[in-house]
Amino acid sequence: MQCLITRSDYVLDKLAMNCIPGAVVVRLSLVLSLQGHGHWVNSLALSTEYVLRTGAFDHTGKKCSSPEEMKEVALARYNKMRGDAPERLVSGSDDFTMFLWEPSVSKHPKARMTGHQQLVNHVYFSPDGQWVASAPFDKSIKLWNGVTGKFVAVFRGHVGPVYQISWSADSRLLLSGSKDSTLKIWDIRTQKLKQDLPGHADEVGNFNLDWTHWTSVIYFRGQKIWQAMILDLLPKGLAHAKKALLSGCSAGGLVVFLHCDNLSRFLPRNTTVKCLSDASFFLDMQVLSTARSSPTMFCFNRTALVEGNERSRPR
């Protein structure tokens, strides 16, 4: 186990005493600062992220016979993916722009990628590192050269902000999820829409995708967890409750804000529902007066968006 502590040495020494005996205390320091964006940075993607995450496993399904072979295969895949070029990093921002970086070479951007008319919410390298896709709030998806940062194509079809994108393992297909409650699959070779996936009752804010059965297996996070919890409690007595209290602190306090009104929809009409956000999430008058730009409201709104439950918040 590691205790990752980034406070001062005095605080670090005090906190280290609370770590499990034998734990490793890691002191973190700034290595490099990449500057250039004029607003919040919403998304970062690394050109080698896919091979680093999947290791010895790829879309062919080939299996290794031993841990040693897995390490060799993983290293070979990484070296093949990287080649002689340095790793690349792409960033997307609220300033409507993207930057392509080579952090091991320079702290200055390799390319500035412009063209979006609203904030860039998500950027993602293709598994082979040859492409970068960007999901903005201007309802379009842009495809860029992953090596040079030059614009390649634009995909249009969504009628709402695009929240997230995901690549197939072979880098041939791109999936996009939008506020318009649809998912769309794009063919990179033809640069056209391959299939439209409508039918969702609400906006598609966050998903994990199994590309093996991509027509039917879509996983959502925060909203699905909430629904699963409530559906589990209903037959255990919640369905017959006369009074219900939803309470939480810290991260749970945010859940209370998001789902207070939603809870009553699962209960009988005569059930009294009250909600209490206990601690660790405060909105003062100064924050409320600058709600459009304050970090607190920004984090609140983005968390609701990422968890896929933006519309369930109290109106």
Task: Give per-residue pLDDT as tens, 121-145.
Answer: 999 999 999 999 999 999 999 999 9
- Does residue 283 register a pLDDT over 60? no
Higher pLDDT, 55 or 17: 55
Percent of the chain whose predicted confidence (pLDDT) is above 70: 70
Q: How confident is the model at residue 205 (pLDDT cuts 50, 70, 90)?
A: low
Report the distance separating Cα 29 and Cα 27, nearest Å. Answer: 7
Q: How far is CA 16 from the centre of its chain?
A: 31
Q: What is the pTM of this model?
A: 0.62
| C-alpha to C-alpha distance for 200 and 56, rounded to whole angstroms | 35
Q: What is the pLDDT of residue 186?
A: 94
pLDDT-derived band of residue 95, with 50, 70 and 90 as boundaries?
A: very high
Q: Does domain 41-47+87-219 have CATH number 2.130.10.10?
A: yes
Least confident span in 192-196, 212-216, 228-232: 212-216
Angle (CA) 70-74-75 rounded to 5° is 120
Mean pLDDT on 239-260: 80
What are the residue boundaries of the structural domains of the chain, listed by start?
A: 1-30, 41-47+87-219, 223-312
Task: Read off the pLDDT of each residue in 84-98 and give the average, rounded to a whole number.
Answer: 94
Question: Which pLDDT does position 300 carry in this prediction?
Answer: 54
Contact yes or no for 92/41 (Cβ under 8 A): yes
Helix (H, G, I), strand (E, B) or coil at 59: coil
| More confident position, 185 or 217 | 185
Residue with tokens 């290791």: 55
Contacts of 297 (CB under 8 A, 6+ apart): 283, 287, 290, 291
- The pLDDT confidence band at residue 224, using thresholds 50, 70 and 90, is low
pLDDT at 305 over 80: no
Indicate the average pLDDT of the chain: 78
Dihedral angle of Cα 227, 230, 231, 235, to the nearest 10 degrees? 180
